[in-house]
Amino acid sequence: MSWAIRTSIGPTRRKLPIIPQFKEERVHDQSLIPIMDKIKVVANEEFESLFPKFQPSRVTITTNDGKSHSTRVDVPKGDPRDPMTEDEIAVKFIALGGDVIGKDQCEKLRKCIMNLDSAKTVDELLELTIAR
């Protein structure tokens, strides 16, 4: 959890942590190391009692001047109760697949998948899944 938080608030932050944030080179990114000492993960009895109906989490950031900013989420993004938008899916899909099959091919594959209901065959889908 602390690694996901660290990479989400570091200099190369993203709105949602994704697989590239967990690559080996990120583990050794010196700009992120000082942030680790500032992160504390604390169990919350109230939150535990809500599981499995909810998977709550709260992040509180305390600034150098002592001000606290807190936010709570009861269900993770992507849960059926808080689904990802098509744009969020696109960003995540390209981030996860772009290095594997290339960003252009990944974008074509994403569009093909999103329009699969209207496809007459799966030939294009299968062709696009081949890394070149």
pLDDT for 23 equals 73
The answer to whether 2 touches 36, Cβ cutoff 8 Å, is yes
d(CA 95, CA 106): 9
pLDDT for 117 equals 96
Residues of the chain with pLDDT under 50: 11-12
pLDDT for 30 equals 84
d(CA 88, CA 68): 28
pLDDT for 9 equals 56
Q: What type of residue is 108?
A: K
CA angle 22, 28, 32 (to 5 degrees): 80
The answer to whether 47 touches 57, Cβ cutoff 8 Å, is yes
pLDDT for 69 equals 96
Of the candidates 22, 28, 20, which has an alpha carbon nearest to the alpha carbon of residue 2?
A: 22
Domain assignments of the chain as residue spans, ordered by start? 2-73, 86-128
